Amino acid sequence: MAQPRPWLDEIIDALKELGGHGTLHDLSEKILERDIMNFEENPLFRARIRGAIYNHSSDGTFFKGEAGGSKDIFYSVAGIGKGHWGLRNYEPTEDTVDITEDDMGFEEGKKKLKQHIVRERNPQVIKLAKERFKEKHGRLYCEVCTFDFFERYGEIGEDFIEGHHTIPVSELEEGQKTRVEDIALVCSNCHKMLHRRRPWLSKDELKKLINNKQTNY
Ligand SMILES: [Zn+2]
Ligand SMILES: [Zn+2]
């Protein structure tokens, strides 16, 4: 059976879902999860993915150049051999980041917000932040309100938490990497509230708001 679509198209869409960049591992996992391609036909599909990327990146060793018929689509995020690839000229769109009606009111901040959300979707950093948090506290819970998805929702909530990048994009230097230390783990409600005011509230400011609210009763 033929493939339902070219691998290249699938790789591009999967990378978009990953926020514009990802490791070969995360990319393969994402493509498996999307479950569109015929994996039986290409049991070595991971190598196929790597090949397609190398053929379409001027950072790759097989690139024949635009004149050779291959477009320069991907760039190496962390250097060749690190297996971390991104889409050149990737601009997050509304359907790749779920910004809310509130966010739409801030025209000038929209692009910044998108960049912010893409940054905090970095799967490696979030994974590391979660691991570290669990090592330290034994479980995952919201750093602002202590909400625990597993406790509330059971199995489906296990291991679920959102990552919030505590440094605004405007304060980051070009090309600066996302550090685990800069990720706050928060529940979805607190995350939305953190973004609701410009400039964004800090974790502690939001915590304070919750505490004041409670003593007001
Ligand atoms: Zn919370
Ligand atoms: Zn955030």
- DSSP states of 114-183 as a string? HHHHHHHT-HHHHHHHHHHHHHHHSS---TTT---HHHHHGGGGTT--EEEESS-GGGSPTTPPPPGGGE
Between the CA of 170 and the centroid of ligand 2 the distance, in Å, is 13
Average pLDDT over residues 200-210: 92
Q: Based on DSSP, count helices (H) and strands (E) in the chain, helices before strands.
A: 9, 5
Q: Residue 1: its pLDDT value, please?
A: 55
Could you give the CA distance from residue 35 to residue 133 in angstroms, rounded to a whole number? 31
Expressed in angstroms and rounded, the spacing between residue 141 Cα and the centre of ligand 1 is: 8
Predicted confidence (pLDDT) at residue 109 exceeds the cutoff of 60: yes
Characterise 213 by phi-psi region: left (phi > 0), alpha (psi -120 to 50), beta (else): alpha
Classify residue 108 by its DSSP letter.
H
Residue 89 above 90 pLDDT? no
Ligand 2 centroid to residue 165 C-alpha, Å: 5
CA of residue 148 to ligand 1 center, whole Å: 8
Task: Over range 123-136, report the average pLDDT.
Answer: 90
What pLDDT was estimated at residue 93?
A: 65
Least confident of 32-36, 39-43, 139-143: 39-43
Q: Any idea which ligand is nearest the CA of 144?
A: 1
Query: What residue spans define the domains of the chain?
Result: 7-87, 111-215
Residue 92, pLDDT > 70, answer: no
Is pTM beyond 0.75? Reply is no
